[in-house]
Homo-oligomer: A and B are copies of this chain.
Amino acid sequence: MPRSSGPVDSPARLSLISRHLAPDYPLNTPYTVERHPDSIDTSLLPKTQIRAITTDAKPPNMSTQPEHPTLLIPGPIEFDDAVLNSMSHYSESHVGPGFVAVFGETLSMLRKLFQTTDPSAQPFVLSGSGTLGWDLVSANLIEPGEDALVLSTGYFGDGFADCLKVYGANVTQIAAEPGSRPQLPEIEKALTEKKYKLLTVTHVDTSTGVLSELKNLSELVHRVSPDTLIIVDGVCSVACEEIDFDAWKLDGVITASQKAIGCPAGLSISMFSGRAIQAFQSRKTPPTSYFASMKNWLPIMQNYEAKKPSYFATPSPQLVRALHTALTQIVAQGVKERFAAHKAASDKIKAGIAALGLKQVAANPDDQAHGMTAIYLPETVKGAELLPKLASRGVVFAGGIHKAIAAKYIRFGHMGVSVLDPSRGHVEKALKALEEGLSECGYQKA
């Protein structure tokens, strides 16, 4: 597998740089610089190697990565070679034309991933964990004393509520029993009782594998409480579950790099609607965070996408290059195809789990995520006993984390190359390890 960014012959590269260091172009400036994006010739920029994703059987072990345990937790996931190679890209200026073009393209490709063509929608890519997305929402889109309705399907719904409270929001929570999700009539009742500035929903709660329904929820909110912003925690859903940002009239989706997008951890990624940006811009009080302030980042993101260098805080060129490579692959495949491939793999995995006589935490098939499965253990088997048996077979699953049921279940992440590149054989390996591990623990299907 070639490096994601092969060497460009030196004279061509120098010519490129020289050409774009036009007069009135101060390098590394914190001030916005007006340039014409059309004047950037990207033909000489390093091109990403797009790994063809096919369903043809290929010989295994084509990866250039050293042999290692197969990571099948619900994030970080296994990464594509080209994405990992982009991580070791040589150093470059965060305001130089090469990186600015890559960052700009990255932001534009996010619009395709989120399926939005609305020019007022705004993507953000910040250095940070996925959790930073909660701060981005809480510090900018709601003011102290305003009301938020949090729909919780597990640990991460509760976390979003905690974050909103830190920033002074009055939080009302509708929490479902582990394995289910708040139902529309209950949500409608809450929305009619109080005027909420925003509603948050965890699309897939990584602690339970419960999938929330966004389309019908959004229709309900727009019908009953049309001024309420609809904010989706898509950390475990973006790039593996259908999200139709425009058609579903969403106002914000926050996510992270290391799950279905398939880029190493370290980036907070989000998309906000024009209505959300408007809500931010009409705040009566200033944002209550500095690093997570839309005031500081909005002009930077707009400038980068317009291929204009701009500075608030130093981005990570290596992580952004890796994200660029991952998104290039996603866009090349097509997002609808990607969602369908994740669903097909999930159906197969869930059938395999059922065939072993195991139940899922998410009981109702309509509530089951397609990028991970939370699996109840047989009563006679402990996770602490089973997980090492999977590990000894080269498969890393995650333990349970929902307080109420933590010891009773395990989690199997199936996102990205592990399901899109069948030549890796990850799904078969995992199901086989699960069957053998359970058997070694004395379990036999009833």
Which A residues are closer than 8 A to B by beta carbons?
3, 5-8, 10, 13-14, 17-18, 21-31, 65-69, 71, 73-79, 84-85, 87-94, 96, 126-132, 134-135, 138-139, 155, 162-163, 166-167, 256, 258, 264-266, 286-293, 312-319, 382-385, 387-388, 391-392, 394, 396-401, 406-407, 411
Number of copies: 2
Query: In whole angstroms, what is the CA distance A139 to B84 when docked?
Result: 34
Which of A27, A68, A383 has the largest number of chain B CB atoms within 10 A?
Answer: A27
Q: Would you call B384 and A26 a contact (CB within 8 A)?
A: yes
Q: Are B7 and A66 in contact (CB under 8 A)?
A: yes
The A interface, classified by DSSP as helix, strand, loop or mixed, is loop
Q: Which of B264, B391, B399 contacts A26 (CB 8 A)?
A: B399
A21 with B90: CB separation less than 8 A: no
Which residues on B sit within 8 Å (CB–CB) of A265? 94, 127, 314-318
Is the CB–CB distance between A385 and B23 below 8 Å? Answer: yes
**Alpha-carbon distance A278/B23, docked complex (angstroms):** 52
A163 to B3, CA, bound (A): 40
Chain B residues positioned under 8 Å from A73 (CB to CB)? 27-28, 93
Contacts of A22 in B (CB 8 A): 384, 388
Answer whether A91 and B66 are a contact pair too, CB < 8 Å, given A18-B391, A166-B288, A288-B166.
Answer: no
User: Which B residues touch A77, using CB under 8 A?
Assistant: 91
Q: Nearest chain-B residue to A19 (Cβ)?
A: B388
Q: Is the CB of A14 within 8 A of B90?
A: no
Sort A-B residue pairs by CB-CB distance and give the 4 closest, nearest first: A26-B399, A7-B66, A266-B316, A28-B398
A365 CA to B79 CA in the complex, in Å? 49
Residue among A6, A24, A314, A406 facing the most chain B CB atoms (10 A cut-off): A314
Measured CB to CB, the closest approach of chain B to A295, in angstroms, equals 9
- List residues of chain B with CB within 8 A of the CB of A293: 166
A411 and B28 in contact, given A289-B135, A384-B23 (Cβ under 8 angstroms): yes
Q: Would you call A128 and B396 a contact (CB within 8 A)?
A: no
A131, B126: Cα distance in complex, Å: 12
A313 to B6, Cβ gap below 8 A? no
